[in-house]
Structure 1
Amino acid sequence: MQSKTHLLTTFAIVTPVAYMTNNMDMLGVFGLALGTVLPDIDEPNSYIGRRIPILPHIIKKTFGHRGMTHTLIATILFATLASMIPNSFTEMLATGYFLHLAEDTFSMTGIKWLAPFSQKTLAFKLYSTGKMTETIIMFLMLICLCLEYWFILAQPFINV
């Protein structure tokens, strides 16, 4: 999944929960966005990979794309960070990271959640990255997000 689709999907999932719990500030928005694109640091041509000169090449050569950055271990690492430094940035960073992996699970190639302990790939095979199926998902998520924000913004008028 491309970064724009990851971002739209993650924000479409998190926005209603964040609104209902009144649990989102600008620091949280930044953390969610960063966490959403961070797992693809293992791909030099990804959104985040193009902005960091050398590290993505080293990670990809060492672990491969969708290697260690796309595992439950990496997710637990970010969740542990969030629990050690509890603030909206770290909590949303961990949330975005986890949702990125969940979204990649629906790709044709899936991910190896339990690596390095198991090489079994979990893939629900809903879309192929960069193909029409992903474009459809992206537009559906954009519509969902627009409707969610419309509802949030219209809320004061609905309750009158």
Structure 2
Amino acid sequence: MQYKTHVVTSLALGLPLIVSSNELTAINVGALIVGSLLPDIDQPTSFLGKRNKFVSGVTHKALGHRGGTHSIIGLVITFVLLAFIQGQYMSQNAQYMPFWLVLGYLLHLIEDSFSKDGVRWLWPLGKRGLRTGGKFLAYTTGGIGEYLLLGFMVCLLIIEIRLIWLNQLASFLPNGMVQVIQSWVIRVQKLF
């Protein structure tokens, strides 16, 4: 999936959660966007890879594309690092930023699971490592299926932005759902 499709799809899926938890800030939306791009740091031609050539090159040589960064291990390591950084160096205003970045990361992995190449969720276990992807609802990067998804998600995002403007988007999700998840995540963060 191209970076623009990852960003738009992750925003369309994550924005209602941010709004329903009363945490609509530029930091949280930015964290969601960065998280939706972060797993592709292992590809030197990706959006982040072009901007961080050294990190991308090392990650690509060490893990390959859709290796460690596209797995549960990559997700957990990212969360642990962010929880440590947040606990040591960030203000209380950004306490939920790691949650939103990791949510963007998770959404990226789910989105890539529907590509023909899939994702090795349990990397490095075995050759396949619980690889997802295939023929059912699969898309090809840069193909017509991806552009149809992008068009649908742009329309959904426009509707969501309009509902935010009217202060009605939060009414579509159950109250407290995100707060329960966040309180659990905050408890885990405090371990670091």
Gap runs ≥5 in structure 1 = none
1:94 is the counterpart of 2:102: yes
Residues paired across the two proteins, number: 156
Deviation at 1:4, TM superposition (A): 0.4
Of the three residues 120, 127, 133, the one matched with 1:123 is 133
Aligned counterparts of 1:20 and 1:57: Cα–Cα separation in 2: 38
Deviation at 1:113, TM superposition (A): 0.3
- Preserved contact between residue 78 and residue 93 of structure 1 (Cα < 8 Å): no
State which drifts further: 76-85 or 6-15: 76-85
Tell me the TM-score normalized by structure 2: 0.76
Aligned counterparts of 1:12 and 1:124: Cα–Cα separation in 2: 24
Q: Look up the match of 2:155.
A: 143
RMSD between superposed Cα atoms in Å: 1.6
Deviations 1:72-126 (A, max 9, x none): 0011122334544361321211111111111100111101000112332111542
**Matched residue SS, 1:149:** helix
Aligned counterparts of 1:102 and 1:28: Cα–Cα separation in 2: 20
1:70 is the counterpart of 2:70: yes
Percent of pairs identical after alignment?
34
Gap runs ≥5 in structure 2 = 88-94, 169-192
- Preserved contact between residue 24 and residue 88 of structure 1 (Cα < 8 Å): no
Q: 1:73 to 1:141 in 2, by over 3 A?
A: same
Structure 1 runs (4+) greater than 2 angstroms displaced: 78-86
Q: 1:53 to 1:81 in 2, by over 3 A?
A: closer
Aligned counterparts of 2:152 and 2:9: Cα–Cα separation in 1: 9
Tell me the TM-score normalized by structure 1: 0.90
